[in-house]
């Protein structure tokens, strides 16, 4: 039974790998869309914090906030991110997905994809596999912000002496550096490996 389940899992992986290899250019396009969305997210966050009167354009300290202003700040930030970044990303990605699904994939391939998705869902329900990638990234961000504050000479500075815009700028800076340090090498190494293994 275990061998059969393992065989099914490997079969699913082979299917998705072959699909990615065959349509790699669409994977690249979706990757560029995601990168664009990340850049847009950072730009909107920076603009919103430095232009919004709630929070004194990033000058308020934490003791100046109330529950009402925190919630108002968060709600409008989410709305701006959705309007400027989220919706355009979904529209562009959705249009591309529709074109691929209805204009490029054959009926047989679509049925096979549906079957593989169903198998993947059944396997996840049975074995309950989860990814810890989000937790690792969150830890890296926390560690990076701590290092940033230490190197900036504010390790012993009280929170009340630092405005919240400082912490947002620290998070943005660390986020960009984490993407550069880990993202670029991963993309380069992955691309080289992909070309060497499947270039022919």
pLDDT digits (tens, 9 = 90+) for 97-111: 999 999 999 889 889
What's the whole-model pTM score?
A: 0.79
> CA 76, CA 44: separation in Å to the nearest integer?
11
Q: What confidence tens digit (pLDDT) does each residue in 55-100 have?
A: 888 899 888 899 999 999 999 999 999 999 999 999 999 999 999 9
Cα-Cα-Cα-Cα dihedral sign, residues 73, 75, 78, 80: negative
Return the structure tokens found at 195.
């070309």
- The answer, yes or no, to whether residue 14 has pLDDT greater than 90, is no
């Amino acid at each position: 039974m275990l061998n059969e389940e393992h065989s099914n899992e490997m079969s699913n992986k082979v299917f998705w790998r072959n699909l990615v290899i065959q349509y790699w250019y669409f994977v690249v396009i979706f990757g560029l869309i995601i990168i664009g969305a990340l850049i847009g997210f950072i730009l909107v966050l920076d603009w919103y914090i430095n232009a919004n009167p709630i929070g004194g354009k990033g000058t308020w300290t934490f003791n100046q906030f109330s529950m009402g202003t925190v919630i108002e700040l968060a709600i409008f930030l989410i709305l701006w991110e959705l309007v400027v970044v989220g919706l355009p990303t979904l529209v562009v990605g959705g249009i591309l997905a529709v074109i691929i699904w209805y204009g490029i994939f054959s009926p047989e391939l679509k049925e096979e994809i549906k079957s593989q998705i169903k198998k993947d869902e059944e396997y996840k329900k049975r074995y309950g596999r989860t990814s810890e990638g989000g937790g690792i990234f969150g830890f890296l961000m926390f560690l990076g912000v701590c290092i940033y504050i230490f190197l900036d000479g504010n390790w012993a500075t009280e929170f009340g002496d630092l405005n919240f815009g400082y912490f947002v700028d620290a998070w943005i800076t660390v986020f960009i550096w984490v993407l550069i340090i880990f993202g670029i090498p991963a993309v380069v190494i992955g691309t080289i490996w992909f070309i060497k293994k499947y270039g022919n």
